Amino acid sequence: MPRGAVIIGGFVNGLGLVGALAARAVPCAVVTTKPYDVAQYSRWVRGHAAVSGLEDDPDVLLEALERRVADWRGWALFPTNDESLAALAIHGERLRALG
């Protein structure tokens, strides 16, 4: 599978990022973090995962990414909200180990 982008957070910023990357033929997946996220419904999204409670437990994001590592290994991660950025920063070493 070609490399792509995992957009973390699917509200307006995430939806815009999906559109911009899709226009450049970059495969996209979305990890939703809020109940009102909408980017996962874009026709350009090839995969989706959902996490809840990210603001209280940054481990939920890492767990979701680990579950999808076979699909998304080597894909770039794009956090689109403060909670996802903090979770990626906390787990940087483990994420690098996933490849």
Going from N- to C-terminal start, the domains of the chain cover 5-98
Nearest to 79 by CA among 4, 2, 17: 17
Tell me the average confidence (pLDDT) per consecutive run of 10 residues in the chain, 99 residues long: 90 96 97 96 96 94 94 94 94 83
**Adjacency order of strands within the sheet including 28-32:** 45-50, 28-32, 5-8, 76-79
Question: What pLDDT is recorded for position 93?
Answer: 86
pTM attached to this predicted model = 0.93
CATH value of 5-98 in 3.30.420.40, 3.40.50.720, 3.40.50.20, 1.20.120.450: 3.40.50.20
Q: Is the CB of residue 9 less than 8 Å from the CB of residue 31?
A: yes
Question: What pLDDT is recorded for position 95?
Answer: 85
